[in-house]
Amino acid sequence: MKFTASIILTALLSFVACLYLPWWSIAVVSFLIPLIIIQKPYMAFITGFVALLLLWGGLAWWISTANDHLLAHKIAVLVIKADSPLLLIGLTALIGGLVAAFSALSGSLLRRLF
Partner 1 sequence: MVIVLGTNTLLPLPLGSFLSPQHGIWQNAEPVKQHFNARLHFSELKGKSTVYLDDRLVPHIVADNDEDACFLQGYLHARFRLWQMEFQTYAAAGRISEIVGDKALDFDKGRRRLGMVYAAENMLKEIEVNPLSKAQVDSYTAGVNAYITSLPESRLPVEYKLLGYKPEKWSNLKTALFVKQMAQTLSGFSDDLPLTKAKAFFGDEALRILFPQVSDSLDPVIPKGTLFPPASVTPVAPALTDSVYINNITGNLQEIEKPNPNNGSNNWAVSGARTRSGAPILCNDPHLDLSFPSIWYEMQVTTPTMNAYGVSFPGAPGVIIGFNDSIAFGFTNSERDVMDYYAIQFKDKTKTQYRFGSGWENSRLRIETIKVKGRPIVYDTIAYTVFGPVIYDESFPSATEPGAALALRWKAHDPSNELLTWYYLNRANNYEDYKNALQYFTNPAHNVVFASKAGDIAIWQQGVFPALWNRQGLYVMPGKDSSYMWQEFIPADENPHILNPERGFVSSANQRPADSTYPYFIPGYYDLYRGIAINRELYAIDDVTADDMMKLQNDNYNVFAETARPLLLKYVNDSSLNENERKYLDIVSGWSLYNNINERGATIFKLWYDNLEKQVWDDEFEKAGVTGLRPSEKTLTEALLRDTAFKYIDNINTPEQETITDVITNAYKQAAKAADSLSAVNQLTWGANKNTSIYHLLGAAMMPFARTGLPVGGGSHIINAMQHNHGPSWRMVIELTKETDAYVIYPGGQSGNPGSLYYDSFVDKWAAGEYYKAWFMKRGEQEGDRLVWKMEFGNE
The binding site for partner 1 (CB under 8 A) comprises 15, 18-19, 22-24, 26-27, 55-56, 59-60, 63-64, 66-68, 70-75, 77-79, 88, 91-92, 95-96, 98-99, 102-103
Query: Smaller CB distance to partner 1: residue 3 or 86?
Result: 86
Minimal distance, residue 39 CB to partner 1, in Å: 20
Q: Do residues 97 and 56 make contact, with C-beta atoms less than 8 angstroms apart? A: yes
Name the residue nearer to partner 1 (CB basis): 38 or 67. Answer: 67
By three-state DSSP, how is residue 21 classified?
Answer: coil
Query: Looking at beta carbons only, is 23 or 42 nearer to partner 1?
Result: 23
| Least distance CB 69 / partner 1 (angstroms) | 8
Residues near 46 by beta carbon (within 8 Å), at least 6 away in sequence: 3, 101
User: HSE-up of 1 (CA within 13 Å, CB side)?
Assistant: 0
Rounding to the nearest 10 degrees, give the CA dihedral for residues 57, 22, 79, 100. -50
